[in-house]
Each structure stands twice: as structure tokens, then as C-alpha cells.
């Protein structure tokens, strides 16, 4: 059981091709890091997998536990177990965090079954406490007026509430101070399980020091150009991406 991406080509709708044959397999239970210079296609990969309407798949496949990911709508992919923590979480004025989470959890229940409000709020509050978030955020509109770090924490809160089987974290470390980074990483580490895998997109070693990846991939010009263990992170930290460019 795994997330399998084969020879994926994708482009911005009516625009440039960004992904040029990405192939990748993330088995359950593993944490994979995706690194690469700016503009290499990391965020595009995450958005294409989640079905962002600005991108279109040219060719290639992606399967989630054997299911054709590209045949599913955005919400179906989420309910099938895929989660994306956004690089820039979106503000949704007027929709409270609590209502948003309730709707997301309700969508996962069989038709006719109602979410138990009491246990929902209990879980939400305890998860917020785990992430060091003030409970007043339950009533606040989704990400509206949040600082960069608060938005990232809010995305991780959603991930912890929705308990996906495949989670993509797109530069979740950007905008987080040292303490917040540790808290968020602790949250992610607490979710590591044999039935769950993570794709962590980052530029920096510091996040991967907290969330130790099993496999590290380097994406360059829309293609995976190298796959190795944690030692690749140290190599990149020391020498940057220049040496990889010559290999590509």
C-alpha cells in the first residue's frame, strides 16, 4: 500500500510545463523529503496531486493505495486519505475554524450519521493545546488575520484532526519560529505510524532534523534527479544544489 507516481507530466493550465516525468513511490509508514531549488516544481507536485484547478496533468499516473488519484475530485482525494498542508494557507473570511473542521469531519461520515458535537469540540481543544494554540481560534475565521506561523499551525491542526493516511507538508517550516517548529514537528512525529506516510517538502535541514525522513528526493526541473537517505540532506546543507545541477 503506497502512493505511487509514475512518469508524471503536468503544466499550469494553458501555460508552461512544470513537471517533466516525476516518478516516486512512498510506501505506508515512511517519511519522504522532497528538496530542490526554487522553481523546481515541488509545490506544483503537491498541488497536482491534490487536484488544484490551476494545473493540468499532461500524462502519467498517480495511485493512492491502488486507486486512480486523477479520477477523483479534490474532496474525494481528501476523503480517500490525502492531505496537503499548504505553503500559503488560504484565508476564508466568515467561516469559523470550528465550522470548517466540523464540515470536513462530517463529510467523512456515512450519510445520515451526525458528528457528535461534544466529542468534536473536546478533540479540537485538546489538539489545539498540543499545538500550543489558543482555543479562541475555534471561533475565528479560517486563517483570517492569522500570522504566517499561526496559519501553518492551523494547517497542522487540520491534519491532526482529519488523520490522513498520506500527508504532504509543503514548506510547513517557513514562517515558524524555533519553538513553533518544534511543537509542529512533535505533532507530526506523534502521527507517524505504520499505516501513514508523509511527503515533506522543504528547503531546510532544520525541519528534517526534527522529522527525520526515511528517504530524501531531490526534484530539479520537474524531475526527481536523486534519491538517497538522510545523508543527502547533510550534503545539500553543506554544498547546496550546484553539484546536482551538473548531474541533471
**CB under 8 A: which stretch of 85-93, 127-135, 194-202, 230-238 binds other proteins?**
85-93
Total count of residues recorded for the chain? 248
Q: Which of residues 204-243 bind other proteins (CB under 8 A)?
A: none
Distance of CA 174 to the CA centre of its chain: 13
Mark residues 130-169: x for contact with other proteins by CB under 8 A, - for none.
--------xxxxx---------------x---x-------
Task: State yes or no: residue 115 binds other proteins (CB under 8 A).
Answer: no
**CB within 8 Å of 237: residues ≥ 6 apart:** 205
42 or 77: whose CB is closer to other proteins?
77
For residue 109, state whether it binds other proteins (rule: CB under 8 A): no
Residue closest to 6 by CA, chosen among 52, 68, 51, 89? 68
Of 66, 93, 110, 194, the one binding other proteins (CB under 8 A) is: 93
Within residues 10-49, the interface with other proteins by CB under 8 A covers none
Q: Which is nearer to other proteins, 49 or 184 (CB)?
A: 49
Q: Which residues contact 129 (CB under 8 A, 6 or more apart)?
A: 135
CB neighbours of 108 closer than 8 A, spacing ≥ 6? Answer: 79, 162
Query: Of 164 and 213, which CB lies nearer to other proteins in the complex structure?
Result: 164
Binding segment (CB under 8 A) for other proteins, from list 12-20, 82-90, 180-188, 212-220: 82-90
Residues 6 or more apart whose Cβ sits within 8 Å of residue 243: 235
In the chain, DSSP finds a helix count (H) and a strand count (E) of: 9, 12
Closest CA to 142 of 80, 182, 98: 98
For other proteins, the closer CB: 57 or 225: 57
Query: Applying CB under 8 A, does 71 fall inside the site for other proteins?
Result: no
Of 16, 38, 53, 66, which lies in the binding site for other proteins, with binding defined by CB under 8 A?
53
Helices (H), ranges, the chain:
42-50, 74-79, 97-106, 117-130, 148-162, 178-191, 205-210, 231-239, 242-247
Q: Does 78 bind other proteins (CB under 8 A)?
A: yes
The binder of other proteins chosen from 24, 98, 156, 215 (CB under 8 A): 98
- Residue 108 binds to other proteins (criterion: CB under 8 A): yes
Beta-bridge partner residues of 223: 220
Residues that bind other proteins (CB under 8 A): 50-53, 73-75, 77-79, 83-84, 86, 89-96, 98-100, 103-104, 107-108, 138-142, 158, 162
Amino acid at each position: 500500500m503506497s502512493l505511487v507516481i509514475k512518469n508524471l507530466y503536468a503544466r499550469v493550465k494553458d501555460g508552461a510545463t512544470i513537471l517533466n516525468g516525476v516518478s516516486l513511490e512512498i510506501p505506508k509508514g515512511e517519511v519522504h523529503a522532497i528538496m530542490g531549488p526554487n522553481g523546481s516544481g515541488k509545490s506544483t507536485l503537491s498541488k497536482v496531486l491534490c487536484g488544484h484547478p490551476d494545473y493540468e496533468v499532461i500524462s502519467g499516473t498517480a495511485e493512492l493505495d491502488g486507486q486512480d488519484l486523477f479520477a477523483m475530485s479534490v474532496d474525494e482525494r481528501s476523503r480517500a486519505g490525502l492531505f496537503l498542508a499548504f505553503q500559503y494557507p488560504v484565508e476564508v473570511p466568515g467561516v469559523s475554524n470550528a465550522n470548517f473542521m466540523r464540515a470536513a469531519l462530517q463529510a467523512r461520515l456515512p450519510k445520515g450519521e451526525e458528528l457528535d458535537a461534544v466529542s468534536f469540540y473536546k478533540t479540537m481543544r485538546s489538539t489545539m493545546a498540543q499545538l500550543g494554540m489558543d482555543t479562541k481560534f475555534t471561533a475565528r475565521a479560517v486563517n483570517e488575520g492569522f500570522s504566517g506561523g499561526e496559519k501553518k499551525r492551523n494547517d497542522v491542526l487540520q491534519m491532526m484532526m482529519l488523520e490522513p493516511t498520506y500527508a504532504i507538508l509543503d514548506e510547513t517550516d517557513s514562517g515558524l519560529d524555533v519553538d513553533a517548529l518544534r511543537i509542529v514537528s512533535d505533532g507530526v512525529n506523534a502521527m507517524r505510524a505504520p499505516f501513514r506516510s508523509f511527503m515533506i517538502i522543504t528547503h531546510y535541514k532544520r525541519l528534517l532534523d526534527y522529522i527525520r525522513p526515511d528517504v530524501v528526493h531531490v526534484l530539479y526541473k520537474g524531475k526527481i534527479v536523486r534519491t538517497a537517505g538522510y545523508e543527502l540532506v547533510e550534503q545539500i546543507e553543506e554544498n547546496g544544489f550546484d553539484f546536482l545541477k551538473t548531474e541533471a
